[in-house]
Each structure stands twice: as C-alpha cells, then as structure tokens.
Structure 1
Amino acid sequence: MKKIIFCLFFLNIAFAYSQIAKNRAVTLMGSRFDITIVAKDEATANAYIDSSVIEISRIENLISDWIPESQVSQINKYAGIKPVKVDKELLELTKRAIHFSELTKGAFDISFAAADRIWKFDGSMTAIPSAEVVSESVKKIGYQNIIINEEESTVFLKLPGMKIGFGATGKGYAADKTKELMISKGVEAGIINASGDLNTWGKHPDGSNWIIGITNPMKEDDLFALFELSGTAVVTSGNYEKYIMLDGKRYSHIIDPRTGYPSSGVSSVTVFADSAETANGFSTAIMVLGKKAGLKLLKKNPHLQGIIIDDKGKIFYSKRFKVKKYKP
C-alpha cells in the first residue's frame, strides 16, 4: 500500500505571482490521481489537466489487465499458447519490470498477478493457510518464464495460467509519462500524484520547492517528516493500513512472490528516484527483502535514496542520503 501525503500550502490561490498552481483530483486506473499544474491562469491549467487525464486514460487502456481488449489481457489470455504482438511502449515497460525482478532476485515479480489470493485482508481469515496451500499459490509466478522477442515485438508467457500485471509500477509509469507530456507542452512545474506514486517538476509559483509529507507508520494520523522536492519522484510502500492479526502475529498484505508468505519486519519503505515507476518497483521489493537486504540494494543503486522504518519504528537511511528535509 502506498501512502504519501503531499502538502501544497497555497493551491488554487493567485498571489502576487505571475502563475498559479491548480489542483484536481480524479479517479483513474481504479485509483485517485491528484494532478497539480502551474500555469499563467486557471483556464490554461485546467486545459493541461484535461490533457493529463487523457494521457493517463491512454496508459490505462494499454496496460490494464481488467480491460479484456488491452494488450496485457491478451498476453495473459494466450499464456502457454502463443506470443502476443505488442506496442513498443508496452514491450519496454515489460522489459523494465523484468529488470526490476532480476535486480531484486524475485522480491519484485511482474508475474505476481498469477498468484492465488489465499490471504484475505477483509477480516474473514481465522487461520493461517497450510504450507501446501501457500506453496501452490505461487506456482505460476516466475519472471524467468516471460519471453521477450524484440525483433517481433512480442511477449510470451511460457506457462499456461501465467499472468503479468502492472499493479505495482503502472500508476508510477502513468505519473512519469504525464509529467513528460506536460514538460513537452511547456508546463514549467507540477505534481502528478497517482495514489502515492508521485513525481514532481519545477517549483511552486512563489519560487519554493514542493513539500511532501510522509506518513508515520507508527502513528497514521501523523507525518514522519517533510521533504522538499523539485524534479524528483517518491513512493512509499507500507503495511500499516492493510494487514491481519492471526495468533497474535501481524501479517502484511504485501506478499513475497518467492514464497507466498506476507512480508515482515518492515513497516514502510520510501524511495526517491528519477521516476515513480522505478521508486515503486524498489519500494515494493524492499518491503519484501527486509531492512538489511533492502539497505544493501539501495547501496548498490546509488541513484536511489531510501528510508526504511522497521516494525519497531526504528529509522534507517540509505548511505549518502541527500534528500533535503523541510524546516518550517
């Protein structure tokens, strides 16, 4: 579960500045998107927000596995049968997801969509599933069985019943692409917040950096810290909103694709990166990997910055953490 609260203190108010920041909340890709655009006036900002909505809808129609006609749905439909020809955009997105899977040794896995949903987080579970049931639930997961043919621009899932899905990185990708589109149109600043998969560019109309606040996993109605951002993406993954308690033990909704068991030991992970897609892939994986392996992964990827909060509330920063904290 991603949860970032971003604080924009002067939205939709024209001060003695030549531009305003206009925000609109919309439901897209089954999630809330908060789109903030800086423009010369409200009408211009609204037009850019309309263009953003169109772009996000375009991406949804490309990658959603809930839309039967989408290319991802077709890939899943023909798993174990034949390769499916896809647009270059989807081919590249799939390749990057496989790359995340390789880097994290399967802690992130694009084929997790094939997992049996044996863990219920609606209060209906009364016992832990048996080891046999858990093992069976992840049998069709395995990014190694995704075959990419770049010359033919096809994706093939080797095993019948396999599925790929972009539930983890898709909204971040939509945020990144929308930012890219807005910059190409000359929009100098804004924020695309896809339910916590957040990307920023430029500055607030008063010349200051954007300020985002990250939820304290130990106290959900409080913020852990505020950070200044300009041109950076950030994603927080956490287990503090969706979990179950069985036999006195807390089980997170974030499942380890390699074992089928819920992740443990970490309450939240925040990753700062150049793209929300990348930040999401790594934050999800580190929730599964745990604190020690997660910090090691961040160290191996110095272009990322990260904060890990364990289940005791202890805070760990990636080496050479440089993201600037905001001091009101």
Structure 2
Amino acid sequence: MARTLSRRDMIRSIGILGLTLGAGSLPVTAFAAPGTKRHSRTALLMGTFVTVTVAHESPDFADEAAGKAFEAIRGELPVFDGHDRSSALSVLNRDGKLASPPPQMVSLMEAAANWHRATGGAFDPSVTPLVTLFREAAARGVEPDRKQITQALELVHAERIVVSGQRLTLGCDMAVTLDGIAKGALVDRASEVLSDFGASTHLINAGGDIRARTDSEHRSWRVAVQSPDGSEYPAVTRLRNGAVASSGSYESLRPEAGGFTHLLDPRTGYPCRTAAGVTVIARNAAEADALSTAVYVLGPRNGLQLVKSRPGTECLILGPDGSELRSAGFDRVAI
C-alpha cells in the first residue's frame, strides 16, 4: 500500500533535494557565489520542525542569524499557540472575546477575514468545531453522521467574528483556528529579521511553509514538490524571493480505514476529495499558506480561477487519479 506522507515528510524530502548536493539526477541548488557555504539550524517550533538555512562564508554569522530568526518566531508564539492555554488565541476561544488583543493578532484576523471573502467562504478560520468533530470521531474509528456535521456547521460562520483594535468577539460557542495562515505569517516575519540582520540569502522551511530570498536575480533556491503518496517529484520550483506551501492528503485522519483528508470544506462540512495535493507559489508565505488551503477546498477549476486572479501566484494541483493541473505560469518557475 502506498505510504501517506505527512506534511513534514514532504518538506523533509524538499530539504534533501533543495539544500544538499548530489540528489539523484536533479541539479544541485545554485545560488551562492564560489566559496559561500550553506549553514542550517533546526528547532521544534509551532508543532513542527523549522529549519533556517543561511548562505554565508561565516558559520558564526549564519548561526547567529538563524538564532535571531528563531527568537522572532518564539516571540510570537504566546499570541498564536492554540496548545498554550494562556495564549491570546486560546483565551479568545475559551471566553469568546478578547479585550485589547495584540496588534499582530488583529492583523492576522483581518487577513483571515479578507481571505474568507476573497474565496467565497472556502477559507474560514471558524472551522474549528468541524475539525474537532472529525478528530474526535477519528479517535473512535468512525466518521461523523450527517446530524453531527450539520450541528457543527452551524458554528462555522467567519462573518460573525467581530475584529477591532480594541476587541475580538466570536459568536456563541464558536472557536477559531489560524493554522491556515499564522505559520506562514511567522515565517515571513523570521525572513524579515534575517534580511535586516544582513543574511540576505536564506531559506526557512517550517513544516510545509517555505520562504526563500537571495541577494541576486541570478541565484535561486530549488524546492522539490513531492506527491502525496511519496512516489515521485512532479515538479521542482525555483525561488529567489518568494514562498511555496502545500496542502492536501499528505495527512489523513484515519488512513488505516481508507481515510478522509484532514482538510474540510467549511461550506459543506465534509472532507475535500477533489484533489490529492495543492502546491502554491506566492510572494510571501502567509499568502501561499492561505491560498494552498483555499485552492484545495475550491477544487481544480475554481481554484485555478482564484490563483489566476492574484498577481504573482502560481499553483500545481495533483488529482486523486494522479493527474496534474498547472496554472498558466507555473512552468515558468518550475524546472
């Protein structure tokens, strides 16, 4: 039986192909001037492994730069960490309101609301009750019935979230998640810190969200996209100053029983099955993160239309039958 990749497995394969020499017949990463070396540090953050790679002749400088990037991420975690009961996000979900919310949370909630409108509801930060329902059912080895899904769906209404600089408020019994955008935003913040520190050529790989920068238009990072079943690499993209994120059946809530994807359609309440995987290239990691989720939920036709409407974005959609569908400009950045 084909092995189902977790998102982390997929990115681990990306790391091998994109950041080390001699990866089979694929070309090696070509971005640094002669003598410039790559130095990497990895830390467990945001529930995944985050690797920061800096191209610089000094390993001490690269190590210090990576440390600054990790500090930037750790500094934001008390706001967005849903596993920390004292985080701003946890307080909002527990109490249904949050007075004097941190500015970065207000900004991200506003961005989530904008994505909700732009995607016709395919991106919805209030999907948490549905996710909880399916996870609890998966733990029992069953799938939720229609009545349970309908009841949970009544709590999924992003338009009921009130966002202001003074207060965040949820509708009755609602709960939100920022998993579809927060990690990308934190990766973007870490990338800014690296650039400000002088580490102008770097790549951050946060378990599914990748942000890359180089100091020259003639240098680029190569990032491989793995199929959900782990069988092949359908594309290898070039990144100079951009991001890539993937969503899909790299994870399953119940793979041993035929499974259903961990991505749910917040409009219907049911798992998405129109694609096996979606990879989006965008200008920043937050956009790539949100778009990869939205395109997966929307399905190939509507997903491609969404990507087409947003300048600087491209996507690759892998079908359950092994088919590939690419946006018009994807091959201009794919190898």
Alignment partner for residue 193 of structure 2, among 176, 181, 194?
181
Counterpart residue number, 2:233: 223
Counterpart residue number, 1:9: 20
Q: SS of the residue aligned with 1:307?
A: strand
Deviation of 1:126 after TM superposition, in Å, equals 4.9
Mapped pair 1:37 → 2:50:
no
TM-score, structure 2 as length reference: 0.86
- In the alignment, residue 165 of structure 1 is paired with which amino acid? T
Alignment partner for residue 74 of structure 1, among 87, 91, 100?
91
Query: Are the equivalent residues in 1 in contact too, given 2:156–2:266 (CA < 8 A)?
Result: yes
For 1:120 and 1:70, the matched residues in 2 are separated by 22
Deviation of 1:133 after TM superposition, in Å, equals 0.9
Counterpart residue number, 1:294: 303
Question: How much identity, in percent, do the aligned residues show?
Answer: 24
Mapped pair 1:28 → 2:65:
no
Distance 1:259 1:43, change over 3 A: same
Q: SS of the residue aligned with 1:216?
A: coil
Distance 1:236 1:16, change over 3 A: closer
Spell out, residue by residue over 1:20-73, the C-alpha distance to the aligned partner (whole angstroms, 9 max, x if none): 210112100111111111223111111111111111111211211222222222
Counterpart residue number, 2:65: 48
Query: Are the equivalent residues in 1 in contact too, given 2:66–2:194 (CA < 8 A)?
Result: no
Distance 1:155 1:267, change over 3 A: same
Deviation of 1:241 after TM superposition, in Å, equals 3.7
Trace 1:82-121 onto structure 2 (pairs within 5 A): 82-115=97-130, 117-120=132-135
Mapped pair 1:209 → 2:220:
yes
Counterpart residue number, 2:159: 144
Mapped pair 1:168 → 2:185:
no
Question: How many equivalent residue pairs?
Answer: 314
For 2:113 and 2:253, the matched residues in 1 are separated by 27
Spell out, residue by residue over 1:135-194, the C-alpha distance to the aligned partner (whole angstroms, 9 max, x if none): 1122222110111124x3x2111x232222221212111111000111111111100111
For 2:309 and 2:241, the matched residues in 1 are separated by 22
For 1:16 and 1:295, the matched residues in 2 are separated by 37
- In the alignment, residue 163 of structure 1 is paired with which amino acid? A
Q: SS of the residue aligned with 1:118?
A: helix
Spell out, residue by residue over 1:221-250, the C-alpha distance to the aligned partner (whole angstroms, 9 max, x if none): 421121211111000112144254699x65
For 2:67 and 2:191, the matched residues in 1 are separated by 13
Query: Are the equivalent residues in 1 in contact too, given 2:245–2:289 (CA < 8 A)?
Result: yes
Spell out, residue by residue over 1:265-310, the C-alpha distance to the aligned partner (whole angstroms, 9 max, x if none): 1011111111111111111111111111111211222331111111
- In the alignment, residue 42 of structure 2 is paired with which amino acid? A
Mapped pair 1:275 → 2:288:
no
Query: Which deviates more from structure 2 when the two are superposed, residues 273-282 or residues 124-133?
Result: 124-133
Q: SS of the residue aligned with 2:132?
A: coil
Query: Are the equivalent residues in 2 in contact too, given 1:305–1:323 (CA < 8 A)?
Result: no
Structure 1 unaligned blocks of 5 or more: none
Q: SS of the residue aligned with 1:67?
A: coil
Q: SS of the residue aligned with 2:159?
A: helix
Deviation of 1:203 after TM superposition, in Å, equals 5.9
Alignment partner for residue 236 of structure 1, among 235, 243, 246?
246
Where in structure 1 do 4 or more consecutive aligned residues deviate above 4 Å? Answer: 120-127
Query: Are the equivalent residues in 1 in contact too, given 2:38–2:53 (CA < 8 A)?
Result: yes
Counterpart residue number, 2:3: none
TM-score, structure 1 as length reference: 0.87
For 1:194 and 1:245, the matched residues in 2 are separated by 24
Query: Which deviates more from structure 2 when the two are superposed, residues 171-180 or residues 295-304?
Result: 295-304
Query: Are the equivalent residues in 1 in contact too, given 2:130–2:149 (CA < 8 A)?
Result: no
- In the alignment, residue 201 of structure 1 is paired with which amino acid? R
Query: Which deviates more from structure 2 when the two are superposed, residues 138-147 or residues 15-24?
Result: 15-24
- In the alignment, residue 292 of structure 2 is paired with which amino acid? S
